[in-house]
Amino acid sequence: MADQYAQPGEDKRPTDIPAIRWEEPPEGPVLVLLDQTRLPAEEVERVCTDASALVEAIRSLAVRGAPLLGIAGAYGVALAAARGFDVDEAAMALEGARPTAVNLSVGVRRARAAYRSELAGGGDPEQGARAALAAARQLHQEDAEASARMAEHGLALLGELLPGGGHRVLTHCNTGSLVSGGEGTAFAVALAAHRAGQLRRLWVDETRPLLQGARLTAYEAARNGMAYTLLTDNAAGSLFAAGEVDAVLIGADRIAADGSVANKVGSYPLAVLARYHHVPFIVVAPVTTVDPDTPDGASIEVEQRPGFEVTEVTAPQAPVSGAGGGAPVAPLGTQAYNPAFDVTPPELVTAIVTEEGVVSPVTAGALAELCARSRQA
Ligand code: MRU
């Protein structure tokens, strides 16, 4: 296939607004989000003054992606504490905002534990709030560091699996700096390959129904000057058949103890295609995404989203999953099947790349060892 399909991105405007930041104006602390439902049309901030505003931002995907959900959850607890709200109530609401990405509860629990332990040690609620904020900031920083290490490990793995260089990588959903304290997970690996002159093309699945690939990954690829090409999700099969994909790189929302990987719906069909076409299927995720308390794929709760996300197409600048109100693409009253994620069994996963190293083959034992190592670090 001619390389005319891989143009370097032209949109090089600097991204001024970080995905998430904590601010302390005189009126009181706030959490400022880059509203991802408005991208790529507009870079608009959404300011949360309490945990319930953050819960709404999480549900509507203004803030999204597993690692960032963890960071947001931790800041949400800090915000509730700093504003004098009931911290346990806020923590429960935040944890329940979306069920699949385990990072959300990891982040919430970490900040809540810091708050509780400060109070248990005789601290007052103000000190508790400071402890929760410190925990959130630490998680944010750790995620940035993990991201850099995943990129390093992932780049080395690509070099081993595809010694010729010039990789053509297919990715799904959005896994870059919009979901992370750093440059992301799977996208960070592709970006490292691009910087090393080893990325020939990034194939970007549009990722129906909410178009995280088209709206967000293409936006990030363009800003980084990467050679990328957008495709509809259902074009992936013919792309593999044409021999145009050297590797699949995706993120994860939860990895069960047996190595089953929950990620954006559409990931599992890519794993099946990859296996059939003898292409490595690589998952990139921080260790916080591995959940030893979820034994297997069947135990992962998959979020079901409203049917209107499938039966209507909303304009990019409108809230993507507000209350419908988009242009209908199906007859009125049509029921839709709309799981947000699917689960890929471990036997279809070539490798899981984490900040602690690469797990391959993916087995329960290797994952348990990885988690133990990370706890000791
Ligand atoms: O529904 P979303 O947009 O939050 O889904 C995000 C994904 O599925 C990502 O691939 C996943 O969180 C990994 S991001 C590092």
Pocket of ligand 1 (CB under 6 A): 61, 64-67, 101, 173, 175, 179, 184-185, 212, 251-253, 263-264, 340
Rounded to an integer, what distance in angstroms lies between the CA atom of residue 78 and that of residue 91?
Answer: 10
Q: Which of 37, 216, 253, 320 to mutate to test the pocket of ligand 1 (most atoms within 8 A of CB)?
A: 253
CA count, 13 A, side-chain hemisphere, 113:
7
Nearest to 54 by CA among 79, 83, 28, 86: 79
> Which residues, other chains included, contact 336 with Cβ-Cβ below 8 Å and sequence gap of 6+?
307, 308, 309, 310, 311, 330
Strands 227-231 and 247-250: unpaired
CA count, 13 A, side-chain hemisphere, 6:
20
Task: Tell me the CA end-to-end span of the chain in Å, nearest whole number.
Answer: 46
Residue where the block lists tokens 């490292």: 192
pLDDT at 17: 84
CB-based contact 70:286 (threshold 8 Å): no
CA count, 13 A, side-chain hemisphere, 43:
11
* Ligand 1 centroid to residue 336 C-alpha, Å: 21
Active site residue 3: no
pLDDT at 322: 45
Residue 263 labelled as part of a binding site: yes
pLDDT at 144: 97
pLDDT at 118: 97
CB-based contact 128:84 (threshold 8 Å): no
* Ligand 1 centroid to residue 221 C-alpha, Å: 16
pLDDT at 375: 84
Q: Which two tokens stand for residue 52?
A: 């319930």
Rounded to an integer, what distance in angstroms lies between the CA atom of residue 191 and that of residue 194?
Answer: 5
Cβ burial of 276 (10 Å; 0-12, 13-18, 19+) is: exposed
Q: Which of 106, 143, 172, 173 to mutate to test the pocket of ligand 1 (most atoms within 8 A of CB)?
A: 173
Residue 98 labelled as part of a binding site: yes
Rounded to an integer, what distance in angstroms lies between the CA atom of residue 306 and that of residue 59?
Answer: 11
* Ligand 1 centroid to residue 196 C-alpha, Å: 26
Q: Which two tokens stand for residue 103?
A: 């990072």
The one-letter amino acid code at 315 reads A
The one-letter amino acid code at 289 reads T
Question: Counting atoms of ligand 1 from 1, which one is nearest the CA of 69?
Answer: 4
* Ligand 1 centroid to residue 341 C-alpha, Å: 9
pLDDT in tens, the chain (377 residues): 546 666 676 666 556 689 999 999 999 999 999 999 999 988 999 999 999 999 999 999 999 999 999 999 999 999 999 999 999 999 999 999 999 999 999 999 999 999 999 999 999 999 999 999 999 999 999 999 999 999 999 999 999 999 988 899 999 999 999 999 999 999 999 999 999 999 999 999 999 999 999 999 999 999 999 999 999 999 999 999 999 999 999 999 999 999 999 999 999 999 999 999 999 999 999 999 999 999 999 999 999 999 999 999 875 545 554 456 788 899 988 999 999 999 999 999 999 999 999 999 999 999 999 999 988 87
CB-based contact 6:228 (threshold 8 Å): yes
Question: Counting atoms of ligand 1 from 1, which one is nearest the CA of 340?
Answer: 1
Cβ burial of 137 (10 Å; 0-12, 13-18, 19+) is: middle
CA distances from 290 to 40, 231, 240, 276 (A): 31, 30, 29, 26
Widest CA span of the chain, in angstroms?
67
DSSP H or E run through 16? none
Reduced to 3 states, what is the DSSP secondary structure of residue 182? coil
* Ligand 1 centroid to residue 69 C-alpha, Å: 9
Residue 254 labelled as part of a binding site: no
143, 205, 246, 253: which is the annotated catalytic residue?
A: 253
* Ligand 1 centroid to residue 179 C-alpha, Å: 8
pLDDT at 325: 75
Q: pTM here?
A: 0.95
CA distances from 316 to 42, 320, 321, 326 (A): 9, 7, 11, 10
Q: Which of 212, 267, 303, 354 to mutate to test the pocket of ligand 1 (most atoms within 8 A of CB)?
A: 212
pLDDT at 12: 60
pLDDT at 3: 61
Residue 149 labelled as part of a binding site: no
Rounded to an integer, what distance in angstroms lies between the CA atom of residue 88 and that of residue 275?
Answer: 45
Q: Which two tokens stand for residue 307?
A: 């049917």
Q: Which residues in the chain belong to E strands, given as ranges?
A: 7-8, 20-23, 30-34, 45-48, 167-171, 199-205, 227-231, 247-250, 254-256, 261-264, 281-284, 290-291, 312-313, 327-328, 341-344, 351-354, 357-359
Residue 64 labelled as part of a binding site: yes
